[in-house]
Amino acid sequence: MSFTGKRFVTDESICVLGISKRNFLFQPVAELKKETDFEHRIPREQWWLKLRPLMKILAKYKASFEVSDLGQLEHVPSHGYGEPAAI
């Protein structure tokens, strides 16, 4: 069986299926190529690295963080009923 005629190939005709923000996403390979550092085999934007300070805080990791405005912390007493105070 031989095929004759024209092939219609665009930059969006080859896609990769992935997940982004809880949704399935077909991403064109041409677009993916712009966002990838092929030498190091990693994405150019590593958004999850911005979460590291928050993860250390949540893990109660001993670290110091710069604070732009020093404020006073206020003690919030509990109601004594065993329930946390409403925020």
Residue 70 included in any domain: no
What was the pLDDT predicted at 75?
63
Residue 24 pLDDT more than 90? yes
- In this structure, is residue 7 part of a structural domain? no
Q: 53 lies in which domain range?
A: 15-58
In a domain, 63, yes or no: no
Q: Within a domain: residue 44?
A: yes
Beta bridge partner(s), residue 43: 36
Which is more confidently placed, 24 or 76?
A: 24
Here the tokens at position 59 are 């893990």
Q: What are the tens digits of pLDDT across the range 4-21?
A: 667 777 777 888 898 888
Residue 39 lies in a domain: yes
Query: With contact defined as beta carbons under 8 Å apart, do 44 and 37 qualify?
Result: yes
**By percentage, how much of the chain surpasses pLDDT 70?**
63
Q: What is the pLDDT of residue 78?
A: 60
Q: What is the pLDDT of residue 74?
A: 67
Kindly state whether residue 66 falls inside one of the protein's structural domains.
no
Number of domains in the chain: 1
How many Cα atoms are found within 13 Å in the side-chain-facing hemisphere of 52? 6
Q: Residue 53's pLDDT band (boundaries 50, 70, 90)?
A: confident
6 in a structural domain: no
Q: Specify the 3-state DSSP secondary structure of 47.
A: helix
